[in-house]
Amino acid sequence: MNLDIVSACKATVVAAGLAGAQPAFAEDPAQRIVSVGGAVTEIVYALGQQHRLVARDATSDYPAEAAALPDVGYMRRLSPEGLLSVGPDLVMAIEGAGPPDTVEVLAGADIPFVTIPEGYSRQAVGEKIRAVGAALDEDAAAAELAVRVDAEIAAAVAAAAANPARKRVLFVLTSQGGRIMAGGTGTAADGIIAMAGATNAVTDFEGYKPLSDEAVIRAAPDVILMMQSEAAPTGTDDELFAHPAIGATPAGRSRNLVRIDGMHLLGFGPRTAGAVTALAEALREAGGS
């Protein structure tokens, strides 16, 4: 632990308190919370606890009111200075947020850092909601929300299964520079594709990885799925279909491309039922078999 950094961060908290923030070391339920992770922030709003937020990360773009909060940066590249400048008494972050050095500095400054478990299934959404509720001391409200959201997801998945898209879907994270970065198993993309009644076209690796031209052609997707995001451009439609390997696939020949807002599609939070329905409908409307 770098004691100079910790001391500087504690000084930042004290300065924030002198400017009107509450002390960051109170034992009462947290009232100055930094929410990290789009789904985490959505859950806070769904529980009606947004008045306790003092900042959010760059992935927290829903609901629209969240944009008015200070932005502490991208969830995997958080700086202790940025976090502590808002005088938090709790940082609540989705699993994988960091880096570890920042978490270590927060611990040294006596700022609780609560990790919310990530997951890409119906069950995982409920666990995420309950974990946020526990961190907020809103267990009963979170349990009620989890039951309602679970019922909505179950209905959306059942509807998709009753009239499945039966499409092979290739999720492309980005196609910029002619490099196809795709989503394999164990990803949010893989989870939402399955829930929408379709099949992930690539299952021979986990996570998000670049695909060779041969792998793209072998995947033979009927539809390409991408995020619609101004904050993190993923490449234009023309760039995608100009890619020789994409052009050689059924999706490329028929220009079958579905774009959905990234956090809506991949957040696995309160809006997941809507994402399942939107994707299932878009895939059914796409041409091809």
The CATH number that applies at residue 185 is 3.40.50.1980
Burial class (CB in 10 A: 0-12, 13-18, 19+), 163: exposed
Domain-located, residue 123: no
Q: Are residues 171 and 277 in the same domain?
A: yes
The reply to whether 182 and 268 lie within a common domain is: yes
Say if residue 275 is in the same domain as residue 200.
yes
Query: What contacts 96, CB < 8 A, 6 or more positions away?
Result: 75, 76, 118
Does one domain contain both 212 and 109?
no
Q: Which residue has the higher pLDDT, 264 or 4?
A: 264
- Residue 174 pLDDT more than 70? yes
pLDDT-above-70 percentage for the chain: 87
Closest CA to 85 of 19, 2, 29, 35: 19
Q: Residue 228 — very low, low, confident or very high, per pLDDT cuts 50/70/90?
A: confident
Q: Does some domain include residue 153? A: no
Show the domain range for 280.
164-285
- Are both 175 and 265 inside the same structural domain? yes
Domain co-membership, 72 together with 185 = no
Q: Are residues 176 and 281 in the same domain?
A: yes
86 domain-assigned: yes
Q: Is residue 132 part of a domain?
A: no
pLDDT the model gives residue 28: 76
Contact 160/276 with Cβ under 8 angstroms?
Answer: yes
User: Is-above-0.85 flag for pTM?
Assistant: yes
Number of folded domains that form the chain: 2
Per-residue pLDDT of 59-118, as tens digits, reads 999 999 999 999 999 999 999 999 999 999 999 999 999 999 999 999 999 999 999 999
Dig out the tokens for 255 from the structure: 């220009």
Return the minimum-mean-pLDDT range out of 28-32, 217-221, 262-266. 28-32
How far is the C-alpha of 150 from the C-alpha of 270, rounded, in Å? 9
